A and B are shown apart, each in its own frame.
Chain A
């Protein structure tokens, strides 16, 4: 800013006569823009390569036009007749027309897949009936029912009504073990079809266990690193950072090598007489494998935040407490521990967030009982159940974002440190 002069009116202004206030506001907004322009390219990049794809995934989770696009007549009938209308000859005629078109365009599989989401076992109904659709003749109601009794099932008609619009919340219902009842209400899925809530529960439970394990193992180590002289602790810190830098797949492979039934740990235990050949422990390809390997992989994420909180705590506080007569346990519990709570919160939240979305390790060492919700998403993706995979992913994403928001509120993301 150039030198300021006091004009006759008493308003401070710059040398070129503009009021100082507006000149300052302009300079500040220019500085703001300059800062923003530095960030803009990256922000744009992340919006395009990260936020947009996730937005598209969310769209997929409520959008599937496999039925509505290929069954225009029946969809129009559903739009014209409210829920509760008994499907009459007009509805069956529309159905027959659409099935004939589906036969010509070879889209029966796509249509059946969409209905199969809501009512399992119906894909073959569509493909089989479409194959013989040319032979259908009026009256269509009788003809179709003669082809397959299932065409009269109110559940099927409810499912088709649900699919007659491209936008549907039904994938979310499936992902939460819910389904549509014949009257359009929402009910729980039959017990044999309930898998998703159980997997969500297991994911959160295992993540909680892993979080506690990393805390129990990480707290003493972080404390030791914080009280040792900096030179020694920097050396020991390498032991924490090396796993952090080592490939995830390498660490997972190592755990397979260590824990499998003919692996190193079992061999050592057998050789030392703790176990016999028959009682070798099954420590991998089950939940134990997932927990052990993930605790190891996530441990540095617990130790580093704990360490950065513990390091600045002056040792004189505990000494003062001791000199005032506190036992060492009392001094730890009432003086030291409360000061480390921010570190515990940061580490625990970070570990939990990362554990909830873990995929690679459970897929490789989890067996059947150690699979998490991410593995289910991958499974549905591999089976081309894209919309269902997207709905499960959206629910997981919502959970992670809530935790992320909490982390930002409590700790602040800009306080995140890497080594």
Chain B
């Protein structure tokens, strides 16, 4: 949108004002995410920039809050840092255990959501699918229904069925929450899918399973992986269901953060936040690359 040469001074003024406004909105979007990164290296237990930090004095910065992530909850944090110390970290550190739980729950719920969601998306994108709209509405509703309602319902349901306080219960719940994202991304990929490819495979004698794994799957894989990443992030960031149905000792990273923010907020939270920001940058990059690859496969190129 270059400014035309016949633009009046008022229009020129507006053109630049508009860009400044947009710049400010981008700042609003990014500032809260970027601000935690330098603050997490604070040497003092404050949530604001100290004078030393502003003067870029190396003494103002430290890794002490990252160290806290390892030592908090350990049996002997002061011991020399040898193999035994690291073993202690792995077994007892609160944040490390929370991370382990988060990863276990995230991986299994993602697997479940991705497998079920991809198969269902294949059915949903067939033109002959009956009651497509109604079924789609039901399958996507976990994304729309407020999480507190889902958690309340699951609390009653699990206390009746005995799934409360178990990993299985949390995994099933997180899978349900991740399913809409898998369905949306995979059906979006299937919209551009050329059905004559599967017909060609069938006419060459391939049974449906071979067609799926050799023809369909490689083509929709970028969409499936993006959907899986969405589902993983949903589970990795979910706290309300965990608060309602998980046992007290089933700490996850978001639950630990939730407790930290509610009770005694410490800069260690900021170092966790920084790590999570880095993780989300990595995930976003992966999804962007997958999207471009998928567009290339489908022959859509940027203008």
Bound-complex Cα distance A55 to B150 (A): 11
Shortest Cβ distance from A262 into B: residue = B48
In residues 233-254 of chain B, which contact A (Cβ within 8 Å)?
233, 236-237, 239-240, 244, 254
Complex contact A220–B146 (CB within 8 A): no
Give 27 A-B contacts (CB < 8 Å), ordered by A residue. Answer: A32-B129, A32-B130, A38-B123, A39-B135, A42-B116, A43-B138, A45-B179, A49-B175, A53-B157, A221-B26, A240-B29, A242-B284, A245-B281, A247-B254, A247-B257, A250-B276, A252-B261, A255-B32, A257-B39, A264-B47, A267-B49, A296-B29, A296-B32, A360-B258, A374-B148, A393-B149, A418-B230
Interface size on B, residues (CB 8 A): 94
Q: Does B162 contact A (CB under 8 A)?
A: no
Q: Mark A277-291, 1 if CB is under 8 A from B, else 0.
A: 000000000000000
Q: A357 touches which one: B130, B141, B147 (CB < 8 A)?
A: B147
Interface size, chain A (Cβ < 8 Å): 94
* Given A46-B139, A249-B239, A419-B287, 9 further pairs, Cβ under 8 A: A57-B152, A220-B25, A246-B276, A247-B254, A262-B47, A364-B258, A416-B140, A416-B184, A418-B184
Name the CB-closest residue of B to A51: B138
B144 touches A356 (CB 8 A): no
User: Which residue of B148, B237, B291 contacts A419 across the interface (Cβ within 8 Å)?
Assistant: B291
- From B46, B158, B276, residue with most partner A Cβ within 10 Å: B276
Q: How many A-B residue pairs have CB under 8 A?
A: 277
For B154, list chain A residues within 8 Å (CB): 49, 53
Query: Is B69 in the interface zone, CB < 8 Å from A?
Result: no
- Known contacts A31-B128, A417-B188; is A245 also within 8 Å of B32 by CB? no
Of residues B48, B140, B283, which shows the largest number of chain A Cβ atoms within 10 Å of its Cβ?
B48
Q: Compute how far the CA of A241 lies from the CA of B146 in the bound complex, rounded to whole angstroms.
A: 22
Contacts of A51 in B (CB 8 A): 138
With known contacts A46-B176, A416-B184, A53–B35 Cβ distance under 8 A: no
Decide if A166 is an interface residue (CB 8 Å cutoff): no
A356 touches B261 (CB 8 A): no
User: 8 Å CB contacts to A: which residues of B165-208?
Assistant: 172-173, 175-176, 179, 181, 184-185, 187-188
With A39-B123, A49-B173 given, is the CB distance from A253 to B19 under 8 Å?
A: no
Q: Does B33 contact A (CB under 8 A)?
A: yes
Which residue in chain A gives the minimum CB-CB distance to B153?
A53
Is there contact, CB below 8 Å, between A260 and B146?
no
Give the contacting residue for B123; candidates A37, A56, A356; CB below 8 A. Answer: A37
Residues of B within 8 A of A227 (CB): 1
Within the complex, the shortest CB–CB distance from A399 to chain B, in Å, comes to 10
Indicate whether A336 reaches chain B with its CB closer than 8 angstroms.
no
Return the CB mask of B249-273 against A: 1 if under 8 Å, else 0: 0000010011001100100011001
Determine whether the beta carbon of A256 is less than 8 Å from that of B284. Answer: no
B157–A221 touching, CB < 8 Å: no
Closest chain-B Cβ to A238's Cβ sits at a distance in Å of 7
Task: Contacts A238-B288, A246-B277, A253-B273 given; indicate if A224 touches B19 (C-beta within 8 A).
Answer: yes
Are B160 and A256 in contact (CB-based, < 8 A)? Answer: no
Q: Report which B residues bind A (CB closer than 8 A).
A: 1, 11, 14, 18-19, 21-22, 25-26, 28-33, 35-36, 39, 46-49, 116-117, 119-120, 122-124, 126, 128-130, 133, 135-142, 144-150, 152-158, 160, 172-173, 175-176, 179, 181, 184-185, 187-188, 230, 233, 236-237, 239-240, 244, 254, 257-258, 261-262, 265, 269-270, 273, 276-277, 280-281, 283-284, 287-288, 291, 302-303
Counting from the closest, the 4 A-B pairs by CB-CB distance are A357-B146, A38-B123, A53-B153, A53-B157
Contact A417 B173 (CB under 8 A): no
Q: What chain B residues lie within 8 Å of A413 (beta carbons)?
A: 133, 136-137, 140
Q: Report chain B residues within 8 Å CB of A218.
A: 25
Given contacts A57-B156, A260-B47, contact A220 B145 (CB under 8 A): no
Q: Are B129 and A256 in contact (CB under 8 A)?
A: no
